């Protein structure tokens, strides 16, 4: 039997992959990759069979049971199986369902962490999720509920945290903002929306909960909603995507040269 690696592809930019993730892709025999994984990242799997198993809201998606079954079957045919997930596998990535399927089939697996969208957005904004005297608690949450899933009490946690990052929430932004205000957040609470974090086409919007209730966001890419006092607009030139991209490319060149 082969081994299955659940690998985090990071928020988008291929050069935010971990070294372990890149090396596994290079030696992979087969790769099952998410819809939001960058094509240049998938291309690192030069010798692998590549299978798209993406999930996108409002679009045709791969059934999770099919993915679970495919991983189990692939482990009986290939030595190195990579399940390439956007962001970090353990943050809203359905990793546990795949882990449970692999455990049930007695197949060896390993999880390789990746940079989750919340951290990429924070880095791009140049705004720390925590700040002395202002933010000591951080919440990662999603209001999205799948078919036949039990309602979660995400709102209580999101409203109580000093800094809250909401995944898969942009499509319901006005309703979410209103709910947070009903739960105790002030109308003037700052909000930063980051679309396509870490990519060249990244977009940022600064507003407040009150402003968000009156807006109709039109975003084409994945976005996170960042809520909390630390997210008041702070123009920091060195936080630009272009600057970070140059810095990462310089670092990568030095690593390759060394």
Cα angle for residues 20, 253, 45 (degrees, 5° grid): 40
Q: Name the catalytic one among 50, 55, 162, 229.
A: 55
Task: Name the least confident of 29-33, 61-65, 187-191, 200-204.
Answer: 61-65
In the annotation, is 34 catalytic? yes
55 included as an active-site residue:
yes
CATH numbers and ranges of domains, the chain: 3-112 (3.40.1010.10), 117-239 (3.30.950.10)
Mean per-residue pLDDT, 227-254:
56
36: pLDDT strictly greater than 70: yes
The one catalytic residue among 34, 85, 88, 185:
34
CA torsion through residues 43, 44, 49, 55, sign: negative
Q: Please state, in angstroms and rounded to a whole number, the distance separating the CA atoms of residues 50 and 27.
A: 13
For residue range 145-170, what is the model confidence (pLDDT) as tens digits? 766 677 789 999 999 999 999 999 99
């Amino acid at each position: 039997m082969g081994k299955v690696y659940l690998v985090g592809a990071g928020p988008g930019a291929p050069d935010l992959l971990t070294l372990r993730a890149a090396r596994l892709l290079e030696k992979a025999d087969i790769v099952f990759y998410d819809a939001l994984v960058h094509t240049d990242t998938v291309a690192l799997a030069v010798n692998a069979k590549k299978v798209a198993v993406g999930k996108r809201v409002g679009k045709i998606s791969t059934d999770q049971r099919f993915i679970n079954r495919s991983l189990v079957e692939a482990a009986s045919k290939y030595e190195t199986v990579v399940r390439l997930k956007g962001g970090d596998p353990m943050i809203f990535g359905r990793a546990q369902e795949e882990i449970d399927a692999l455990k049930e089939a007695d197949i060896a697996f390993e999880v390789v962490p990746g940079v989750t969208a919340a951290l990429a957005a924070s880095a791009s904004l140049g705004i720390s999720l925590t700040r002395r005297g202002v933010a000591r608690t951080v919440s990662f949450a999603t209001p999205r509920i799948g078919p036949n899933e039990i309602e979660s009490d995400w709102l209580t946690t999101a409203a109580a945290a000093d800094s809250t990052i909401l995944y898969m929430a942009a499509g319901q932004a006005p309703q979410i903002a209103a709910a947070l205000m009903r739960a105790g957040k002030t109308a003037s609470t700052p909000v930063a929306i980051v679309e396509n974090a870490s990519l060249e086409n990244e977009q940022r919007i600064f507003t407040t909960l009150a402003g968000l209730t009156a807006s109709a966001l039109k975003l084409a890419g994945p976005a996170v909603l960042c809520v909390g006092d630390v997210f008041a607009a702070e123009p920091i030139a060195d936080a630009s995507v272009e600057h970070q991209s140059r810095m990462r490319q310089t670092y990568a060149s030095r690593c390759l040269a060394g």
